[in-house]
Structure 1
Amino acid sequence: MTLGFLAEALRGHPSIRGKLAIGAATAALGLSGSSFGRPGDDAALLPRKDGGFDLLAGEGFIPRFVAEDPWFAGWCGVMVNLSDIAAMGGRASALIDQVWAPSPEAARPLMEGLRAASEAYGVPVVGGHTNYGSAELGLAVTVLGHAAAPITSFDAEPGDVLLAAIDRRGDYRPPYDNFCAALDAPPERLRGDLDVLPQLAEAGLVKAGKDISQSGLVGTALMLAECSGVAITLDLGRITLPEGATLERWLRSFPSFGFLLAVKPGDVDAVIARFVERDLSAAPIGRIEEGSAVSLCRGEERALFWDWRAEPYLRPSISEPAHA
């Protein structure tokens, strides 16, 4: 497949185009990337008077996913929220859930998944909202955390190296593009892996990055580029695929542990070493540049995936890049 066809296929995929709804939602609420909490990041960044930052994030889940795999949906309710907090250089402290179901019996697998993940990651569910009068299952989960030295989506700068840190010791959980490496992992490994991110932030090694979300590696790169007001080129020749994955699917996959980080060239080896110590894959896969295009390259071949200035994605509406 040529890079042009690959870029076109990715641009039209529902998991990538689904993020366009964020811009419509923030516009309806009168929010922009300049608003309190900086919408467009993985979690709201809320300064504390005593130093550091509170982090607040939440996830709602596709009804079909919840109906077809309620236990895993419950697990993911915890997992993806903790990933958002880690992506911000933070540590999660508590979760609340919002559950709709026809009955307690119908909700049981979902609740069991929530409880199992809460216990595995060591972050308590402290309350929420439950309704057993709904016609079908529904789930949303909210998380509170704290960061001493945050990682944001707004601080990538031209000249930075783009690193991907991903746990590839898993497999796909059909029928979606969810690549899960968490269910069979010991709890101490799950907790220690997530803690690498705040450790890197506190050491001053990483200031910008994002959790690889449902829009996959390419969609996450686009969100990071738009929020920071930069261009990103992804070098597909440097992306290692897990066994059995095609390049197109991997570029839009949602890994249970996956982060894109913008790192200064002199810090690349130190950052990679932190992940390698925990048997996590980490490698440079691209570069941060001046401009607004997110492009794919492979050798001399190059194709435009998305230009956020010509076609806004999240619409964070920052008037000038932070690095300008």
Structure 2
Amino acid sequence: MTGLANLAATLAVHPHVTGKRDIDTVCSALGLGQDTPGRPGDDAAALPDGDGWHLLATEGFMNDFVADAPWFAGWCAVMVNASDIAAMGGRATALTNALWAPDAATAAEILRGMAEASAAYGIPIVGGHSNLRTDRPQLAASMFGHARALITSFDARPGDVLVAAIDLRGSYAGDSDNFPAFLGVDPARLRGDLALLPDLAESGLVHAGKDISQGGIAGTALMLAECSGTGIEIDVDKIPRPDGTALDRWMTTFPSFGFLLAARPADVPAVLARFAARDIAAAAIGRVKAGSTVALCDDTVRATLWDHGARRYLGLAPRKEPADA
């Protein structure tokens, strides 16, 4: 087995990648699919409102993460939702949260993180739920936004170029796979960077994509491929990554600013130029193809990571038209 085949096999069973399969379980239990309101599988629910779309995103956080890194968890309640709204081509408008903690002292750092991120991103916290008499800290948050043009998980087409845009001006948070690039950064830069996404959508340069989430580049590409009913081929040598970072770790890293975007070949230079103007690393890293396989490749080897036609991932692939009787 080649090194690339080993990498593909390792990623296919990595907890960050397989963890996304929980979405299949939940959507199946609720009877949700691509044709239900909000279209589960996208980074946020999109509801038509006449002159665009209302957007609603929600994030919940692992209890251990909230307990071990309360300020960071509070910041992420804002940042991760803001990224989801931007990934849809939207602009965030407000946040609500649900917070549980044993006491006010435990909650204080979580709330400080949320308040500081709210100020940095310019997104007001407008309400929520709180309980300071529980046995452990827990946190979830929802964000509202609006889009005039959508970037969706469902519209990648064969022939599109896959672009990765990732802010590499950060570092790993300890031994975790989180890669924050927001610490000590001018809030104006954070806001301007996120504004790139709705600008790209409204200019018609990008029509499909997702933010790079806990599944990393590997899981995010797989979600995009299945939801769009396509295959994706990723050239691992083209992926922007920090110097000295192992490829296997980077493929499952959760960057604070990272997106996989599908664009027409003729539009790729303009897309890359938009990110370069803000010193964000961006590159064409692959192709959207007909079929159902997500594969890794280099100059000589191609290795299948997952075939969502043979083994469902989110379970949100487009429904096939019934064959004529």
| TM-score using structure 2 length | 0.97
Cross-structure match for 1:313: 313
| Alignment partners' CA distance in 2, 1:308 and 1:123 | 37
Deviation (angstroms), 1:185: 1.2
2:39 paired residue number: 38
Q: How does 1:164-313 map to 2 (within 5 A)?
A: 164-313=164-313
Tell which deviates more after alignment, 28-37 or 286-295: 28-37
1:116 Cα deviation from its structure 2 partner: 0.6
Q: How does 1:59-70 map to 2 (within 5 A)?
A: 59-70=59-70
Measure the CA separation in 1 of the matches of 2:106 and 2:159.
52
Do residues 17 (structure 1) and 23 (structure 2) align?
A: no
Which secondary structure does the structure 2 equivalent of 1:172 belong to?
Answer: coil
Amino acid at match of 1:15: H
Secondary structure of 2:16's aligned partner: helix
Cα contact 1:177–1:253 (8 A) shared by 2: yes
Q: Secondary structure at the match of 1:17?
A: helix
Equivalent-residue separation in structure 2 for 1:84 and 1:112 (angstroms)? 22
Distance apart, 1:206 and its partner CA? 0.8
The alpha carbon displacement at 1:192 in A equals 0.2
Matches within 5 A, 1:45-84: 45-49=46-50, 51-84=51-84
Provide the aligned length of Structure 1 versus Structure 2.
320
Percent sequence identity over matched residues?
Answer: 56
Measured in 2, the distance between the counterparts of 1:237 and 1:281 equals 14
Task: Determine if contact 1:60/1:141 at 8 Å carries over to the other structure.
Answer: yes
| Alpha-carbon separation, structure 1, partners of 2:129 and 2:175 | 29
Q: Is the 8 A contact 1:210 1:220 kept in 2?
A: yes
TM-aligned CA deviation for residue 252 of structure 1:
0.5
Matched, 1:135 2:138: no
Tell me how far apart the structure 1 counterparts of residues 240 and 196 of structure 2 sit (CA, whole Å): 21
Q: Displacement of 1:175 after TM fit?
A: 2.9
* Unpaired runs of at least 5, structure 2: none
Contact 1:226 1:316 in 2 (8 A): yes
> Does structure 1 retain, via aligned residues, the 8 Å contact 2:229–2:317?
no
Say if 1:231 and 1:288, in contact at 8 Å, map to a contact too. Answer: yes
The CA RMSD measured in Å over matched residues stands at: 1.0
- The separation in 1 between residues aligned to 2:180 and 2:209, in whole angstroms, is 21
Does the aligned pair in 1 maintain the 2:228–2:317 contact within 8 Å?
A: no
Gaps of 5+ in 1: none
Read off the aligned partner of 1:36 and give its amino acid letter: P
Q: Say which SS state the counterpart of residue 279 (structure 2) adopts.
A: coil
Q: Which runs of 4+ in 1 moved over 4 A?
A: none
> In structure 1, what residue type is equivalent to 2:225?
A
Partner of 1:124 in structure 2?
124
